[in-house]
Amino acid sequence: MKRRISRPQSLWRWLRRRVTGDVRVRAAALWLRAKPLALFQRRLAGRKMSSGEIGAMGELIAVRWLAANGRKVLHRNYRGGHRGEVDIVARHRDVLTFIEVKSRTSSAFGRPADAVGRDKQRLIQRGAMDWLRLLGNPRIQFRFDIAEVILTEGELPRVHIIENAFQMPDRSMAGR
């Protein structure tokens, strides 16, 4: 009699045998979908994850956390026409939120939110203004949040949301 393998086990075997290159991020998404409360492992498909792959996994975890906690995710990885970018655009009740995701595997270099400096804030603000321009510049409330994702080996991922982490400069609102 052939032994039946549960879905997470068979998926994990598939990952270890066949996944290489850029497909690894999509495979990590499948793994998270199959096993939502999985302990973080730095190795995926027999190879250590790169910082880009850890960032992509952190973004996936943040999206799942936001959806589970009452936010409607509208768009991911928005790139505006004026060199702006936003990791996640979501709605939180009646407020439009532009969320920057920062993932870390250690707190040795400070909090993940510390990496969002003035230049990164301007980049996110430009992306937000492009998004609002696409909507026809409506008079709605919006804010900028930071999602900190801590991925420690052998532990469940931790997500911390900093609401209203930074503000739009007053001079940029003159035309609204």
Q: How far is CA 173 from CA 16, 36, 95, 97, in A?
A: 51, 41, 17, 17
| pLDDT on residue 1 | 47
- Domain-located, residue 88: yes
Residues 97-116 as b/e (b if ≥16 CB within 10 A, e otherwise) read: bbbbbbbbbeeeeeebbeeb
Distance CA 73, CA 70 (A): 10
| CATH number for position 60 | 3.40.1350.10
Answer yes or no: are the C-beta atoms of 38 and 44 closer than 8 Å.
Answer: no
| pLDDT on residue 23 | 58
| pLDDT on residue 33 | 60
Answer yes or no: are the C-beta atoms of 109 and 102 closer than 8 Å.
Answer: no
- Domain-located, residue 1: no
List the domain range (segments joined by +) for residue 60: 7-173
Mean pLDDT by 10 residues, the chain (176 residues): 46 48 58 62 77 87 92 93 90 95 88 93 94 91 96 89 90 49
Query: DSSP states of 99-139 as a string?
Result: EEEEEES-STT--GGGG--HHHHHHHHHHHHHHHHHTT---
pTM for the model stands at: 0.76
| 3-state SS assignment for residue 151 | coil
| pLDDT on residue 176 | 45
- Domain-located, residue 20: yes
- Domain-located, residue 2: no
- Domain-located, residue 85: yes
| pLDDT on residue 46 | 74
| pLDDT on residue 52 | 84
Domain tally for the chain? 1
